[in-house]
């Protein structure tokens, strides 16, 4: 059977996307709480899974053919799609955790990056923290742009403009964000950079996962022999932040943030509005 899903969800469908969004947020909080020097990304994976299960959800990453984990864990030069492992995290590691939950057939998807402090190398710790911070801030700039955009690809312009204003960083172009709903990955693509096309109209019912991936060095990547892990070709560190956001009749709401994005969007002049 083949059919085209509408890019735009109904108000009832948007309401159903709140629970998987919050379960996704909880799974990332749980993973974040265990990440420190000496812990492992497998422990973060277990914590994330428990948080999703406690909210009546399932990991949607586990539903991807051949993938057995709840989160993706990408350390240092690994950018995205890394597999959790039993390797002990070390001071100075930069770790990105990506997670998603499905509840009643609806999906959430989000990611954060964390730097394990290294007191013996404060400069490198600060440099990596800044990479994570500007990547996170570029995500919020993209979300703020979504709140007022006419067309979706204005989001990528806002992300690129911000990243370029912060120094010589690279935005990955091999991987982009996506629509999200009954499938974790669906149309439309959400670019993290300027493209010529305007993209679909931003109007109530649009739900997208925005997920900038930013590096210190060259944006070239390759997939490791495990068939999943995407790593930078030059070995430079990478950061990845992501949220799933709904556009509805009264405004926008960040489904994968417990406050809808209110705190982070406030300095950008955007007030998210709960879905009613
Ligand atoms: Mg995603």
Residue 150 confidence (pLDDT) above 90? yes
Give the residue-averaged pLDDT of 137-166.
98
- d(Cα 196, Cα 173) in Å, to the nearest integer? 14
Spatial contact of 176 and 160, defined as CB atoms under 8 Å apart: no
What mean pLDDT value characterizes the chain?
Answer: 96
- Answer whether CATH 3.90.230.10 is correct for domain 2-268: yes
The whole-number average pLDDT for the span 110-127 is 97
Structure-block tokens of residue 54: 């406690």
How far does residue 206's CA lie from ligand 1's centre (Å)?
Answer: 15
Is the model more confident about 64 or about 115? 115
Which pTM does this prediction carry? 0.96
Distance 14 CA to ligand 1 centre (A): 18
Q: Give 122 Cα–ligand 1 centroid separation in angstroms.
A: 31
Query: How many angstroms does the Cα of residue 79 sit away from the middle of ligand 1?
Result: 13
Centroid of ligand 1 to alpha carbon of 159 (angstroms): 16
CB 253 within 8 Å of CB 244: no
Position 1 scores a pLDDT of 41
Q: Which pLDDT score is estimated for 2?
A: 43
pLDDT (tens digit per residue) in 44-90: 999 999 999 999 999 999 988 999 999 999 999 999 999 999 999 99
| Residue 110 Cα to ligand 1 middle (Å) | 6
Domain ranges of the chain: 2-268
Span from the CA of 143 to the centroid of ligand 1 (angstroms): 14
Distance 242 CA to ligand 1 centre (A): 7
Q: Can you tell me the distance from the alpha carbon of 91 to that of 75, in angstroms, rounded to the nearest whole number?
A: 12
């Amino acid at each position: 059977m083949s059919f085209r899903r509408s890019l735009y969800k109904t108000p009832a469908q948007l309401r159903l996307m709140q629970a998987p969004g919050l379960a996704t947020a909880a799974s990332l909080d749980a993973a974040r709480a265990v990440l420190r020097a000496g812990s492992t990304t497998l422990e973060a994976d277990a914590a994330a899974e428990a948080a999703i299960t406690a909210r009546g959800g399932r990991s949607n990453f586990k539903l991807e053919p051949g993938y057995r984990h709840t989160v993706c864990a990408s350390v240092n030069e690994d950018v995205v799609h890394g597999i959790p492992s039993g390797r002990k995290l070390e001071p100075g590691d930069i770790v990105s955790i990506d997670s998603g939950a499905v509840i009643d057939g609806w999906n959430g998807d989000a990611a954060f990056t964390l730097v394990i402090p290294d007191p013996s190398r404060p400069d490198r710790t600060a440099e990596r923290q800044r990479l994570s911070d500007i990547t996170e801030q570029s995500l919020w700039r993209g979300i703020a742009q979504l709140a007022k955009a006419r067309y979706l690809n204005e989001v990528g312009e806002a992300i690129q403009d911000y990243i370029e204003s912060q120094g010589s960083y690279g935005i990955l172009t091999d991987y982009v964000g996506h629509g999200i709903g009954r499938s974790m990955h669906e149309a439309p693509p959400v670019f993290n950079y300027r493209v010529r096309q305007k993209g679909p109209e931003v109007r109530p019912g649009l739900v997208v996962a925005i997920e900038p991936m930013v590096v210190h060095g060259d944006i070239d990547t390759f997939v490791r022999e495990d068939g999943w892990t995407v790593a930078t070709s030059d070995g430079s560190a990478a950061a990845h932040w992501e949220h799933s956001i709904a556009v509805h009749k009264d405004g926008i709401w960040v489904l994968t943030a417990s406050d809808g994005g209110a705190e982070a969007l406030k300095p950008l002049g955007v007030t998210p509005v709960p879905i009613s």
